[in-house]
Amino acid sequence: MLIPTVMIFALSVLVISLISYRLLDRTVQTKTNANLDVFTDLVLAQIGHLDIILNVTKQTLKEKHIAIAKFIEYILENVPEEDITTEELQRLARPLDIIELNVANKNGILTSSNVPTLIGFDYKAFESTKIYMALTTGALKEISEEPRRSVLDDNTYGEINQYTGIARKNGGFIQLGFNASIIGRLQDEINIGQTIKETKLGDNGHGLVLSAGIITAHPDEALLKKDVSNEDWYIAINSGNGFTWLDINGGKYYAGYKNIDGHTIVGLVPESDFYRESHNLLTAVKIITAAAIFVSCFIGLIFFYNRNEKLKALSITDELTKLNNRRSFLGYMDLIWKQNQRLKLPISILMLDVDYFKKYNDSLGHLEGDKTLIAIAQCLKKNVKRETDFVARFGGEEFVCLLPFVGRDEALDFAKTLVQRVESMKIIHPMSEVSDFVTISVGVASAVPNENDSQTKFLDEADKALYMAKKTGRNKAIAN
């Protein structure tokens, strides 16, 4: 009797321990998935911001070059070439922020310039400038080049310049050069490679970014520019989003990956890190086999409780409205705040509150109140369309919307639009004092962050503006 009882006891303890091990194993996977998801979203956000800023900068530079080139052409057409002195070109170039303002004859020889050392430069003698000879023959009317280094030997005017050439009616051409080093600075400020190095994925994990199968960001600089497009592990993840196990260079990794616009972002956690907690539990299983069932149950309950707590902490979505929650919003704002502080670019925040929401709940009940919050959340999500914008439920009937690279006036106009869109849903509010329908009040704050500013103060400014909107009648938007 004793032996079967002991065997049943031991088997029961073993079963309960294995169940506990399985629960922890799932918790490890859930936690790892969440960490990888946050990591890939962070890198995607940086790539998106970099692409937006670089495209805007390049387009602005290109349009500026053409416009100023045509303006200078108009001026120079009315002045004979032999009368254009270095002093005159310097006078014209200075207020227009032109680095090089050159006049070449029909043979491609530079005859006048605001930089005296360039006079006599032969455009057909250098590969990078031979294209301009097409302007002297009439084959081309204008040229706008991508950024490249200056032709000056001493590189006096900065690392990167962008050039525009305009053909003259009587032969020859005018060339203008602008400093475009802002593009290089932006690439340094939004440093995806630094983010890869600083992000901790397990004890020995890391991330990487690939573009068309080429590694463009990796903690090991020796692997940068490596082509892995034919390797099995890359082929398995070069489309879609998900989580999977990968064998890379003899090592096994648990990976989270996302693909967008030709980029593949990958987070890698070594197998040893992934299973470390599970392996620890296997050792514990051997120790507790002889322990009492209630001890095993107690341990199982502890693991189960810890699992739920970890899952709650990892959650970044508001359960009711399915918007981002306050925790994820504050994390995103911290990233954008630091980025815009370096770039000296504006950022705006909208703080929204449902008018007389307590009275709405008191008159129609909390279930109807929940339905209204969901409807407002969907309205906000529908109207916040830019990829870099971020809308979240801040708490209760409060919502927030973060607008990177947006100034005060544009943010206020957008806030007024949201006020109109919410009222236009025509959700009946029997206890409102400002409308027959549910309305919102919005406070707007804008800033170009500097070292003396704080995110807390920024949020307070939006909250004060919201207070003024409610105090002065509600159903409106006010900017602080």
Give the domain CATH number at 349: 3.30.70.270
At 266, give phi and psi (nearest 5°): -130, 135
What's the per-residue H, E or C state across the chain? CHHHHHHHHHHHHHHHHHHHHHHHHHHHHHHHHHHHHHHHHHHHHHHHHHHHHHHHHHHHHHHHHHHHHHHHHHHHHCCCHHHCCHHHHHHHHCCCCCCEEEEECCCCEEEEECCHHHCCCEHHHCHHHHHHHHHHCCCCCEEECCCECCCCCCCCCCCCEEEEEEECCCCCEEEEEEECCHHHHHHHHCCHHHHHHHCCECCCEEEEEEECCEEEECCCHHHCCCECCCCHHHHCCCCCCEEEEEEECCEEEEEEEEEECCEEEEEEEEHHHHCHHHHHHHHHHHHHCCCCHHHHHHHHHHHHHHHHHHHHHHCCECCCCCCECHHHHHHHHHHHHHHHHHHCCCEEEEEEEECCHHHHHHHHCHHHHHHHHHHHHHHHHHHCCCCCCEEEEEECCEEEEEEECCCHHHHHHHHHHHHHHHHHCCCECCCCCCCCECCEEEEEEEECCCCCCCHHHHHHHHHHHHHHHHHCCCCCEEEC
Task: Verify that 131 and 33 share a domain, yes or no.
Answer: no
Task: Verify that 340 and 470 share a domain, yes or no.
Answer: yes
Task: Verify that 464 and 331 share a domain, yes or no.
Answer: yes
Task: Verify that 256 and 289 share a domain, yes or no.
Answer: no
Task: Verify that 236 and 263 share a domain, yes or no.
Answer: yes
Instruction: Determine the straight-line distance between the first and last CA of the chain, rounded to whole angstroms.
Output: 81
Is residue 321 in a domain?
A: no
Question: Which residues does 405 contact at the CB level (< 8 Å), separation at least 6?
Answer: 52, 53, 340, 345, 346, 347, 388
Question: Cα(418)–Cα(389) distance, rounded to whole angstroms?
Answer: 14
> Given this model, what pLDDT does residue 292 score?
47
This prediction's pTM: 0.40
Question: Cα(309)–Cα(191) distance, rounded to whole angstroms?
Answer: 34
Is residue 251 in a domain?
A: yes
Task: Verify that 292 and 235 share a domain, yes or no.
Answer: no
Task: Verify that 256 and 352 share a domain, yes or no.
Answer: no
Is residue 69 in a domain?
A: no
Picking from 184, 216, 249, the residue at the C-terminal end of a domain is: 184
Is residue 460 in a domain?
A: yes
Picking from 147, 166, 184, the residue at the C-terminal end of a domain is: 184
State which residues form the domain around 205.
192-273
Task: Verify that 332 and 464 share a domain, yes or no.
Answer: yes
Is residue 65 in a domain?
A: no
Question: Cα(397)–Cα(380) distance, rounded to whole angstroms?
Answer: 13
> Given this model, what pLDDT does residue 313 score?
44
Q: Judge whether 136 and 172 are in contact, CB under 8 Å.
A: yes
∠ Cα 409 191 229 (to 5°): 120
Kindly report the CATH number assigned to the domain that includes residue 134: 3.30.450.20
What's the total number of domains in the chain? 4
Kindly give the confidence (pLDDT) of every residue in the chain, 480 residues in length, as a single tens digit, with 9 standing for 90 and above: 445 555 565 566 556 656 655 666 677 777 778 878 888 887 877 777 766 766 666 676 667 666 777 777 776 676 666 667 888 888 877 776 778 888 898 999 998 898 888 899 999 988 878 889 999 888 888 887 765 555 555 444 444 567 888 888 778 888 888 766 555 555 555 567 777 777 777 778 888 888 888 888 888 888 888 999 999 999 999 888 889 899 988 889 888 898 887 788 898 888 888 777 556 655 665 565 555 455 544 555 555 555 555 555 446 889 999 999 999 899 889 989 998 888 899 999 999 999 999 999 999 999 999 999 999 999 999 998 888 899 999 999 999 999 999 999 999 999 999 999 999 999 999 999 999 999 999 999 999 999 888 999 999 999 999 999 999 999 999 998
Task: Verify that 470 and 337 share a domain, yes or no.
Answer: yes
> Given this model, what pLDDT does residue 53 score?
66
Task: Verify that 245 and 357 share a domain, yes or no.
Answer: no
Q: How buried is 334 (Cβ within 10 angstroms: 0-12 exposed, 13-18 middle, 19+ buried)?
A: exposed
Task: Verify that 87 and 52 share a domain, yes or no.
Answer: no
Is residue 66 in a domain?
A: no
CA quadruple 297, 299, 300, 304: dihedral sign: positive
> Given this model, what pLDDT does residue 77 score?
72
Picking from 288, 314, 340, the residue at the C-terminal end of a domain is: 314
Is residue 236 in a domain?
A: yes
Question: Cα(68)–Cα(162) distance, rounded to whole angstroms?
Answer: 13
Single-letter amino acid code for the residue at 46: Q
Task: Verify that 388 and 431 share a domain, yes or no.
Answer: yes
∠ Cα 16 19 25 (to 5°): 145
Q: Judge whether 328 and 382 are in contact, CB under 8 Å.
A: no
Distances (CA, A) of 239 to 41, 46, 211, 236, 258: 16, 20, 12, 8, 8
Is residue 73 in a domain?
A: no
